[in-house]
Amino acid sequence: MTKLNAQLFLNISATYISGGQVNYYDKNQIADWYIELNPSVVTSEVGENSLNGNNVDINALPKRSITKMLMIQIEISLPLNSTICTPKAEPSAKYN
């Protein structure tokens, strides 16, 4: 934090965030999909929850993205003392 004058300060900071990696398909890739389903799962009597990713073959290569972010902040600070925040009390009236 840098002091600009008696009551004004400047802070400049940068934060780098390295995120995760994701595989995805866009709408053009989905339009050209050729999907093959393992027929033994469809005719199986094991139960309706027996279908999983190993039973479906999608002939497409996913796109890959990596999330990274650089966030820059510029902050100006000034103290808020009691004379700025607290309203002045009205003098009480004196009754005789």
CA distance between the termini of the chain: 56
Whether residue 10 has pLDDT greater than 60: yes
Residue 73 tokens, joined: 């902040």
φ, ψ at 30 (rounded to 5°): -65, -35
Q: Where are the domains of the chain?
A: 1-23+64-86, 26-61
pLDDT digits (tens, 9 = 90+) for 21-60: 988 888 887 877 777 776 666 555 655 556 666 666 777 7
Residue 49 pLDDT = 57
The most confident of 3-7, 27-31, 74-78, 91-95, by mean pLDDT: 74-78
φ, ψ at 43 (rounded to 5°): -90, 0
Residue 79 tokens, joined: 């103290």
pLDDT digits (tens, 9 = 90+) for 59-88: 778 889 998 999 999 999 888 765 555 555
